[in-house]
Chain A
Amino acid sequence: MSVIYIVLTVSVIVGVGFFIVFLMAVKSGQYDDSYTPSVRILFEDELVKEKSKQSIKSKTD
C-alpha cells in the first residue's frame, strides 16, 4: 500500500526534473532566438559536399 508514496515521489521528481531542464533551457537563451537554429541545423552537410564539388571543378578548369 505504501507503493503510492513511491509512485508519488517518482512522479514529483520526474516533474521537477523536467521543470529544472526547462529553466536551464530558458536561462541558456534557447528561447531568445527561435528562428536561427531551425536554419542552422540544415547546414552541416553542405560544407563537406561543397568541398568535393570544388575539387572536381578545379580539376576540370
Chain B
Amino acid sequence: MEESTCYHCGDHCGEKPLRFQNKSFCCNGCKTVFEIFNENDLTCYYDLQDSPGAVPKEIEGKYDFLSQDKIIDKLTEFRSDSIEIATLYIPHIHCSSCIWILENLNKLNHNISDSVVNFGKKTVRVTYNNENSSLKEVVLLLSAIGYEPYISLDDFKSGEKHINRSLIYKLGVAGFGFGNIMFLSFPEYFEVNEFWLEQYKHMFRWIMFVLSIPVVFYSAQDYFSSAFKGLKARILNIDVPIALGISVLFLRSSIEIAFDIGSGFFDSLAGLVFFLLLGKFFQQKTYDFLSFERDYKSYFPIAITKVNKKGKEVSIQVYDIKKGDRLLIRNEELIPVDGILISGRGKIDYSFVTGESQTVTKSSGDKLFAGGKQTNGIIELEALKSVEQSYLTQLWSNDVFNKEKEDGFTSITDTISKHFTLTILSIAFIATTYWLLTDVSKAMNVFTAVLIIACPCAIALSAPFTFGNLLRIFGKLKFYVKNASVIERLAQINTIVFDKTGTLTANKASQAIYEGEALNAREALILKNTLRGSNHPLSRTLYDILEANDIVTLDTFTEHVGKGIEAKHDNIALKIGSASFVGSETTPNNLNTTVHISSNDLYKGKYTFYNRYRKGVAKLFNQLKAHFDLVVLSGDNEGERDNLKKLLPGKTKLIFNQKPEDKLDYIKYHQSEGANVMMVGDGLNDAGALAQSEVGIAISDDINVFSPACDAILDASKLKFLYQYLRASKGAIKIIKWSFALSFIYNIVGLYFAVTGQLAPVVAAILMPLSSISIVVFTTVCTNILGRRLK
C-alpha cells in the first residue's frame, strides 16, 4: 500500500490508514473530527487549505475546573444571566481554514451565537448562551475538533485587557492637522500681495492656529514629557531639541500671526510632528502572536485536581495548593509544584524546563519538580512546597525580572543628541549675539529660526526607520525581535553564551553508537522487531536509527517496566535494557544514557546515546569565534564534554552542571567584568540568564509553542544564520551613522538661512519635509540592501 497522508492533519498515515468516504486518516481522532464536520456541512474546511487540522488530544477530566464559578469569572470578559463572552487563545490557528471553521462554531453548537477570530493574536472570542451551555462545553467542543484552547495561569488575571491605541489617535490628529494646514498655507506661498488673499489671509492664519493646537498639545505631548523626564535625569535625549523646536515653532508662529508679522510655520510644525509620529508608529511593529514577556505563569495550569481527605476529587486553584496536599496529575497535565510521587508511573517530559524532550521515568517515592508534563496515565503526588516556592518558580523572585533592559541603555540617538543639542544652542547664542550687535530687530528672529531649522527631525527618524525596517526583514527570516532597542544592543555584543540541551542539540533525534561484539544478521533482525513493539522513548529512538529490516512475528515479548525488554524468536532470546537487567559485568562508568543487549544470556554490547547537534552548529561557532567570546552553559552532566570539544572551536568555554541561578550569576559576573553578553537558550531554566543578559534569544522549534521571556525568538532552523543577523545589526548602526551625516548636511544648509536671518516659512516648509523624506528613503533602501544580503 502506498504511503498516504491524513486528509485531516496531513501526517503520514503509516501502514494502515483508516478509510472513510474515500479519504485516509492517520488516527481515529482525525476521523472523528472529519465526521463531525461532515455531519454539519462544514467539509468546506478542507477546501480552503489542504489538511489544515490537528489531532484532537485526550482531555478527559482536564477541564473540570471550568465549572467553577470563580474561574469562569476570571476567564470571561462579559457575564450576564444569559450570555457570556470569553476570549480563548488557540495555538493551532494557522490558516484560513482555521478562521473559517472557528467562525462557524455556531453550526456545531447552537448555543454559540458568535465567534470572532483574531488571526494575528491566535484568539477566538466566543459569545454563547450560558443557560443551555457553559464555558466548559465550549472548550470541550473546541478540543474535540482539534482546536484545544490554551488556558494558563496567565489568563487568571482579572480585569479587562487594555489595548493602547493612543499612538494611532495621535497620528490621526497630526495627519489631519498637517493636511488641512497645508491647504491653508499654500495660497500665501504662491500669491504674494494678491488682493483677495490680503483680505482673507488673517482668517486663514487663525484657522491654521486653531488646527495646530491639538497637534502641539495632544499629538506631540509625549515629546514634551520625555524631554522633561530627560532633563530631570540630567540627560539631553533626542526629545529635548525636538520639544524645544516644537515649542519655538508654535510660539513664534503664534506671535507672528498675532502681530501680523508673517504667516508663521504652522505647516512645518504639523508636518514635523506627523513625520515623527510616523517614525514611532513604524518602529512599533510588534508580533501579536508572539509573547516576549512570558514567565512560568504562561505554562502553568489554573487549576488542578486535589484528592481530599475523604478520597474525593476536587478542583482547586493552583495558588491554593498547600504543602502536604495530594494532587492528581492526568496525562498531558503539567506538574505545578514540587512533590513526591505516590502512585502511578511517572513519565515526565521536562522540555518546558530544560529543552530536553526525552521523558524521564519516575516511580513511587521519587521527587518530581514543578514544570514537568506527565505523559503516561494518571499519577498522584504529594505537594512538598507551594507554587511560588518550587525549585523552578523560585527563580522569578530574582530582581532581574523586575528590571527593564532599556533603562540604563544609552541609544545611539541619545549619544548624538547630547552633542547636537549643545552645538545648536551655542550656534543660536553666537548668532543672536552677532545680530544684537549689528541689527537688534533681527536678533530674536535669528534665535528662533536656528532652533526651528535645527529641530532634529531627520536624526530622530533615522533610528526608527532603520531598525523598524530591519525588524521586519528579520521577521521574514524567522528571527523575531522584540523591539528596535534590541537590535541596537545586538550590535554591541561581544560574548555569546549558549545553552546546550534544546539549543545546540536538536530536540528530537539523538545519535546512538554501538560498542561491543557485532550482532549477526538474525540478531539485528530480532532487535529491530523487538524495538518495534516497545513504546519506551529510547526504544523508539533506537528503532528510528537502526536500518530497516523485515517484519517477523516474535515468539515471546515481555516488557519489564523500568528495566528492559525480553523477546524470543527462533531460539534466539534477546534482552535489551539496563546493564543490570541484561547481565553486564562491566560496571558502567558512563554518564551517557546506554542500552545494553544480550543474546541467549551472552552479553553482546551497548548502544550509547549522544545528543545530536543541530545542523550548522560547528560552522556557526567557527564564524563566531573570531569576533566573540563563546561559552556553552549546560545544566546537564559532563557526559557530552568530549563530544562538544570535538565539534566546537578550541577556545569555547564549556561549563556543565549549571542550575538556573548559576546561569544567571555566570552572566552577571561577566557583565561586571565589562562584557556585553548575549544568551541563547530555550527552556524555562534559561529564563534567568535570558533576562540578565543584554540580549536574550530564545530558540524555538515551533514559534507557536511557548518560549520563556526574552528579547528575541529565533526559529531553530535559522540558528546557523545567527552570525549573519549579528552582522546585519552592526550594519544597521552604520546606516544610522550615515543618515546622521546626511541630516547634518541639511542642517548646515538650513542654518545658513537661519543665521543670516532669511528663513522664510516657505524655506522651512520645503527643507524640513525634504530632509525627513530623504532620510526615510535612504534608510529604507539601505536596510533593504542589507536584508537582501542576508538571504
Q: Which of A24-61 contact B (CB under 8 A)?
A: 26-27, 29, 31-36, 39-40, 42-43, 46-47, 49-51, 54
Return the chain B residue nearest A22 by Cβ: B172
Please pick, from A11, A23, A27, A39, the residue contacting B96 in the complex, using a CB distance under 8 A.
A39
Residue-by-residue, is B39-67 near A (CB-CB < 8 Å gives 1, otherwise 0)? 00101100110000000000000000000
Task: Tell me the bound Cα distance from A42 to B103 in angstroms.
Answer: 13
Please state if B99 and A40 are interface contacts (CB–CB under 8 Å): yes
The answer to whether A36 and B119 touch across the interface, beta carbons within 8 angstroms, is yes
- Assess the B168–A39 pair: CB atoms within 8 A: no
Q: Which residues of B contact A22 (CB under 8 A)?
A: 172, 176
- Residues in B neighbouring A31, C-beta threshold 8 A: 165, 168
Give the A-B pair count, Cβ closer than 8 A.
65
> Chain A, interface size: which category?
20 to 34
Q: Is the interface of B mostly helix, strand, loop or mixed?
A: helix
Structural contact, B163 and A50, CB atoms closer than 8 A:
no
A42→B96 CA distance, assembly (Å) = 10
Closest to B45 in A: A50
Expressed in whole angstroms, the Cα–Cα distance for A39 and B41 within the complex equals 20
Interface check A8, CB cutoff 8 A: yes
> How far, in Å, is B374 (CB) from chain A's closest CB?
35
Contact A4:B168 (CB < 8 A) given known A19-B176, A40-B99, A46-B48? no
Q: Bound complex: CA of A32 vs CA of B162, how far in Å?
A: 12
Known: A22-B172, A26-B169. A54 touches B41 (CB 8 A): yes
Asked if A12 CB lies within 8 Å of chain B CBs, one says yes
Chain A, residue nearest B172 (CB): A22
Query: In chain A, what residue has the closest Cβ to B288?
Result: A33
Most buried by B among A1, A43, A51: A43
Instruction: Tell me the minimal C-beta distance from A20 to chain B in angstroms.
Output: 10
From residue A32, how far is it (CB to closest CB) to chain B in Å?
A: 6
Alpha-carbon gap, A26 to B171, bound state (A):
11
Question: Judging by beta carbons under 8 Å apart, are B207 and A47 in contact?
Answer: no
Are B172 and A36 touching (Cβ within 8 A)?
no
- Determine the distance from Cα of A42 to Cα of B99 in the docked complex, in whole angstroms: 11
A34 to B168 Cα, complex, angstroms: 13
Chain B nearest CB from A1 CB (Å) reads: 8
Distance of A32 Cα from B118 Cα, bound (Å): 9
* 9 A-B pairs with the lowest CB-CB distances in the bound complex, closest first: A50-B44, A36-B119, A33-B118, A39-B96, A19-B176, A35-B119, A46-B44, A22-B172, A26-B168
A residues whose Cβ falls under 8 Å from a Cβ of B: 1, 4, 8, 11-12, 15, 19, 22-23, 26-27, 29, 31-36, 39-40, 42-43, 46-47, 49-51, 54
B→A interface (CB under 8 Å): 41, 43-44, 47-48, 96, 99-100, 103-104, 117-121, 163, 165, 168-169, 172-173, 176, 179-180, 183, 196, 200, 203, 207
